Amino acid sequence: MFGDEKILNQLYMMKAQTDLGVIDVDTYNDFPGQRVALSMHCSNNISVYHTHNFYEINFVVRGGCINLVEETPLLMGEGEFVLLHPGTFHTLYAAGESIVTNFLIREDWFEGLLCNYNLPSSPMAEFIKYTQSKKYFRYLICTKKLEETSALALKMFEANACDNKKKYLTIESLMIEFLNSLLFENKYLKLSDSIGKTSDISRKLLNYITNNYSNLTLQSIADYAGYSKTHICRLFKTDTGKSFGETVSDIRLSHARYSLINTDTPIKSIAYNIGFESTEHFQRLFKRKTGFTPGEYRKKFGHQFIRRDYKGYKV
């Protein structure tokens, strides 16, 4: 379809460059207060390898894409999609003039909507069943274009392009229909082979770090969590295999990589924005972690495209 082997190698390279990346929906200024939001994945570029604390649906409106989810490459065509559980790492490449829409769904809204009912037996029901447990399915993929879900996705896509103040309620209503339709689909939905694991407290702390990474200290997170600094350090080492300092540093560098790839913000400003007082310290750490200087990284992976909004696309 579009040089799959070459693109896969680039996706794995992006994965190798990322130790830990957490992007919270609240950090997207474009979506204040929205429980369901839409964003566009621009074609002919590879997104930073990342995770976040909201559910995400990558839906192929037109064309095709490769989505690398943890270690699993997923090739998707028009009308196909993948539903990702919070905490699942992924990166995506959309080919040529392809259009891939990302539906971002707040965790509390998704689980409050679906987790309190007796559901029919289906892959979607199994996915929902484990969403609030310590072990969960990383993703649910649809391997065929389904007329009902495709029509609902396109309605959300079109609604998002309007200036109507009620559009967010319309999008939420359509998303409820979209998710409900999946409960009765057994043939073309497939659960991930791998299972994700997390603890409630470590997930809570990672979310807190995500929103406060630029001015965070071990004492401040200990005060927030109500634990001793020693316990916090032990918790991070047990759950992530890394120290508290390494975890914060990796999250900061994840945001630095995102800024280098997606913006033209000066490197000195990026260093300051993510919590480094010294640009030289940031440069040394970035080089040690990625093998590139920030300038080299931006040149190699930075997006060479002009961003377009939904109004610029014809379906």
Residue 172 has pLDDT above 80, yes or no: yes
Q: Cα–Cα distances in Å, from 178 out to 65, 97, 174?
A: 21, 25, 6
State the pLDDT at residue 2: 47
Return the higher-pLDDT residue of 9 and 232: 232
Return the higher-pLDDT residue of 198 and 235: 235
Instruction: Give the SS3 label for residue 251.
Output: helix
pLDDT in tens, 211-235: 788 888 889 888 888 888 888 888 7
**Average pLDDT along the chain:** 81
Q: What is the DSSP letter of 126?
A: H
**Could you tell me the pLDDT band of residue 16, with boundaries at 50, 70 and 90?**
low
Among residues of the chain, what percentage have pLDDT more than 70?
A: 83
State the pLDDT at residue 288: 87
Residue 199 has pLDDT above 90, yes or no: no
State the pLDDT at residue 18: 54
Most confident by average pLDDT, 62-66, 178-182, 208-212, 242-246: 178-182
Measured distance CA(35)–CA(107) in Å, rounded: 9
Domains of the chain in sequence order: 4-196 (2.60.120.280), 199-301 (1.10.10.60)
Q: Which of 122-131, 159-168, 305-314 shows the lowest per-residue confidence on average (mean pLDDT)?
A: 305-314
Return the higher-pLDDT residue of 137 and 119: 137
Token pair listed for 216: 């965070």
In the numeric block, the tokens 């109500």 are attached to 226
Do 46 and 9 contact (CB within 8 A), yes or no?
Answer: no
Return the higher-pLDDT residue of 16 and 42: 42
Average pLDDT for 239-264: 79
Return the higher-pLDDT residue of 11 and 308: 11
**Could you tell me the pLDDT band of residue 201, with boundaries at 50, 70 and 90?**
low
User: What does the buried/exposed string (b/e) look like for 276-304 if buried means 16 or more CB atoms within 10 Å of the residue's CB?
Assistant: beebeebbebbeebbebebeebbeebeee
State the pLDDT at residue 303: 53
CA 315 vs. chain centroid, Å, equals 24
Do 98 and 62 contact (CB within 8 A), yes or no?
Answer: yes
State the pLDDT at residue 203: 65
State the pLDDT at residue 197: 66
State the pLDDT at residue 22: 47
Q: What is the DSSP letter of 311?
A: G
Instruction: Give the SS3 label for residue 97.
Output: coil
pTM over 0.75: no
**Could you tell me the pLDDT band of residue 208, with boundaries at 50, 70 and 90?**
confident
